[in-house]
Amino acid sequence: MTPLATRRPTAQSATAIWQVGHSATDRVILSGVGTSRMRQWQRALENAGFVAEVEPDGVRALHRARESRPAVVVVSGAGRDNPVLASMRTLCDERLPIRVLALIPDGDDEACERCIAAGADAVCGNVCSGRELAARLRALLRPRGDRRRLSADLGHVLGDLIIDTATCTVRRGLTDVPLTRLQFKLLLILVQCRGRVVSRAELYRDVWECESPAGSRVVDACVVSLRKRIGDDAAHPRYILSIRSAGYTVR
């Protein structure tokens, strides 16, 4: 029998040890880039008050997040056939209180769209500094306000869609329309603002609850993914209208 003093901790006990003394609001799992950069980010995040753990494999990082329930898991969203995207969708569908920050190459709009569609709560350039990453995590974890009191109404109807704010679900007849957390919030805000055009900057503030970075295409990517989920066509829209250089509105 292995002496107690030399027995190695199991993966489960290591996770439990990592959780001791820290709330879920300050824990982060890092993956998605080279080990050297992740270690640099880890030091920067710890200097900023976070508790950061490194897991090189993105799929394992997302599975690990289910057990340890960190505040955020950082993964790479690059690559059309990236298996992380499927794991991200699964985590999002489980509606766990875990934020996902996806790392993408700067200026890669297609990767941004794929990650938002898969359920990422935000995207970030994969060559950012540790200080920038810490700032983005703080913005992502900022306490959610009730600027629009999103749950104040019992529900809304948009064409044949029923938007239930009590359960944060959307139905078409008796069939559920699966939306991510961000897609639901974006749709609800547009419906609550029915009759006027909502700018991209305003949507970013109300959905992500921080100011939009210059040149960000995150709102557009989220609208594209939302349209796919609800069966809308940008060329012949039934629900969401794009107003050139102004923003979005709903019929």
Q: What is 188-227 written as a DSSP string?
A: HHHHHTTTS-B-HHHHHHHHHSSPPPTT--HHHHHHHHHH
| 173-225 confidence digits (pLDDT tens) | 888 998 888 899 999 999 999 989 999 999 988 887 777 666 678 899 899 99
Element (H, E) at 124: strand 122-125
Q: How confident is the model at residue 123 (pLDDT cuts 50, 70, 90)?
A: confident
Neighbours of 172 (CB within 10 A): 13
Checking if the pLDDT of 25 tops 90, the result is no
User: CB-based contacts of 238: which residues, under 8 Å, 6+ apart?
Assistant: 159, 231, 232, 251
Q: Which CATH number fits domain 21-140: 3.40.50.2300, 1.10.10.410, 3.30.1050.10, 3.40.30.10?
A: 3.40.50.2300
Q: Which residues pair with 242 in a beta bridge?
A: 248
Checking if the pLDDT of 5 tops 50, the result is no
SS3 assignment, position 135: helix
Checking if the pLDDT of 8 tops 70, the result is no
Equal fold, 21-140 vs 155-250: no
Which range is least confidently modeled, 6-20, 44-58, 186-200? 6-20
Which range is least confidently modeled, 2-16, 85-99, 189-203? 2-16
User: Residue 134's closest CA among 49, 237, 204?
Assistant: 49
The three state secondary structure string of 61-109 is: HHHHHHHHCCCEEEEECCCCCCHHHHHHHHHHHCCCCCEEEEEECCCCH
Q: Which residues pair with 100 in a beta bridge?
A: 73
**For the structural domain made of 155-250, what CATH number should be given?**
1.10.10.10
Domain spans of the chain?
Answer: 21-140, 155-250
pTM of the full predicted structure? 0.69
* DSSP annotation of 181: H
Checking if the pLDDT of 77 tops 90, the result is no
